[in-house]
Amino acid sequence: MDTHTTPARLSNEAVIPLRTLDPVAPLDDLQWLDEAIGDARVVAIGESAHYNRETYQLRHRLLRYLSERHGFSAYAMETGFTEGRRTNAWVHGGEDRLGEIMAYGLTSLTGLWQQMGAHLEWMRRHNATAERSVGFYGIDLGGQNASLIPALDAVLAYLAQADPGLQVDTAIRETAAAFAATSAFAARTTMAVYAQLPSTTKDALTAGLAGLAARMKGRRLDYVRRTTAEEYERALQSMRHLLTLESVIRGMTGGDQQSVMYNRDAEIADTVEWILRRQDRIVLAAHNGHVQRGPAALPGMDPVTPMGMHLADRLGEDYLVIGATTGTGHMLNSDAAAFQAGALFAPMQAPKPGSLDALMHASHDGPFAADLRRLSPADADAVRGATVQRAGLGAYYSPVSALDAYDIVVHLPHVTGADPDDAALACSPQEVREVFSHYKSPKGLSDN
């Protein structure tokens, strides 16, 4: 007896083919977005894993369409908020070199790729002539989610102007500098340094940051008179990130991963709202686990509330989510030792049967989208039957209710590692250059 079953697939009517992922190609095949996005103020674009070439290209292409055809005026990305201000200055004509921006204006290695550089170059060209410019914003805590120094230095620089008589306790920065990760490759080492600090030193740091935050809040009117309201708000937002990041570092080194996820995602949701007070419509780029409307889970962890659940609760129909699935290819290496040694990507197996990725992969050969709100009953049942989704951590799949989590899903049938950018690497910290000197291109690896 034949034990093989035909994998579930969507009907042809549910498939919206994407002619290309090339960001500079004509955009006519995206006209279906006109009706799909409606009046949404935030359009979130997910990803299964970081650093894939095709994801960078998809985001670039969708931002082009949404800014040129619908007036979206902000690109908000899962990278450091404080560092992102430097990137925003560059896309508006700033004098920094692009390599420096890619190395230091984006965090956690997200800027070190040619496809990201091409995206920023397009933003700069667009802003040079467009009637409505597109701003760049980071939404994350910054400092590789492991170092307080970028946000702390921004706060201290602001206080030097707004509160010139203030004598900030030098121990605050000295302690922060003791565990200042300069890249994702240094984060593990610096976390170990923080874990070994005396509890009295950690407590003093917590108290010192809380004191600065209270002072900034209490003296708002004085500070605004000495600077500007916008400068004050940016510094205060960096201060909020400082407080949250310090709690995240405590949680990560203390084994409380649950609180880490809750606290980080609540803060980045607040940051998206902060941007919305300045921009009418935002394209938001982050991992599926952050943008989805439903609970998110990591291996061995109970589900937590991601950013997307916060934004859906606060914004309602103004929040639209485009999830992403993948078929074959390469994604971020879950082997930490291999990653640190330069094998940033690893082959991934074909999607697990019963997963959302498998359903999408069986439905069409090329990249395509499916609007989950406009499915036939049979197609909706097929999506409902896909109860897990690839989470970008090796073979891990997280639970998902796609009809609740996403409005639209885009499937990328084959994904590859993005291309390292030589100019960005030349500007990067020593440990980044060292790891990339041993970089193993996934182009030489076979798919499983």
Per-residue pLDDT tens for 146-161? 999 999 999 999 999 9
**200: part of which helix (H) or strand (E)?**
helix 199-218
Residue 205 phi/psi, 5-degree rounding, is: -65, -45
Average pLDDT (14-38) is 97
- b/e for 251-273, b at 16 or more Cβ within 10 A? bbbeeebeebbbbbbbbbbbbbe
Structural domain boundaries of the chain? Answer: 21-140+281-444, 146-255
Percent of the chain residues topping a pLDDT of 70 = 97
Hey, which residues does 408 pair with through a beta bridge?
322, 371
Report the 10 Å Cβ neighbour count for 366. Answer: 14
Q: How far apart are CA 91 and CA 67, in angstroms?
A: 14
- What is the DSSP-derived secondary structure letter of residue 351? P
In CATH terms, the superfamily for domain 21-140+281-444 is EreA-like (biosynthetic domain) (3.40.1660.10)
CA 5 to chain centre: 37
Specify the higher pLDDT residue, 297 or 72.
72
pLDDT beyond 70 at 1: no
Specify the pTM: 0.96
Closest to 345 measured CA to CA, from 332, 335, 358: 332
Tens of pLDDT along 213-231?
Answer: 999 999 999 999 999 999 9
Q: Examine the pLDDT at 279 and tell me if it is beyond 80.
A: yes
**What CA–CA distance (Å, rounded) separates 15 from 448?**
26
Statement: residue 121 has pLDDT above 70: yes
Task: Collapse the DSSP code of 348 into the 3-class scheme (helix H, G, I; strand E, B; otherwise coil) and give the result.
Answer: strand
Q: How far is CA 383 from the centre of its chain?
A: 25
Q: What band does 400 get if pLDDT is binned at 50, 70 and 90?
A: very high
pLDDT, average across residues 373-377: 98
Show Cβ contacts of residue 322 under 8 Å, excluding neighbours closer than 6 positions. Answer: 43, 44, 45, 46, 62, 369, 406, 407, 408, 409, 410
Does the pLDDT value for residue 445 go beyond 80?
Answer: no
Percentages of the chain per state (helix, strand, coil), in multiples of 5 = 50, 15, 35
Integer angstrom CA distances of residue 248 from 68, 140, 219, 254: 38, 12, 27, 10
Task: Tell me what pLDDT residue 393 has.
Answer: 74
- Average pLDDT of the segment spanning 234-250: 98
Query: Looking at the predicted structure, is the pLDDT value of residue 105 above 70?
Result: yes
- 26, with CB counted inside 10 A (0-12, 13-18, 19+), is exposed
What's the mean pLDDT in 158-186?
A: 97
Q: How far is CA 305 from the centre of its chain?
A: 16
Mean pLDDT within 292-310: 92
Q: Is the pLDDT of residue 447 over 60?
A: no
Note whether 110 and 166 are within 8 A (CB).
no
80 three-class SS = strand
Q: b/e per residue, 171-202, with b = 16+ CB within 10 A?
A: ebbebbeebbbbbbbbbeebbeebeebeeeeb
pLDDT at position 448 is 46
Q: Give me the mean pLDDT over the 162-177 stretch.
A: 97
What's the chain's average pLDDT? Answer: 95
- Computed from CA positions of residues 274, 275, 276, 278, in that sequence, does the dihedral angle turn out positive or negative? positive
Mean pLDDT across 188-206: 97
pLDDT of residue 3: 43
What integer pLDDT is reported at residue 367 of this predicted model? 98
Q: How many CA atoms lie within 13 A of 251 on its CB side?
A: 16
Task: Return the pLDDT at 411.
Answer: 98
Question: What percent of the chain is modeled with pLDDT above 90?
Answer: 92
Report CA-CA distances (Å) from 312 to 74, 308, 369: 19, 6, 21
Say what the pLDDT of residue 444 is.
Answer: 52
Confidence of residue 2 (pLDDT cuts 50, 70, 90): very low
Cα of 224 vs its chain's centroid, Å: 31
Reported confidence tier of residue 441, pLDDT bands at 50, 70, 90 = confident
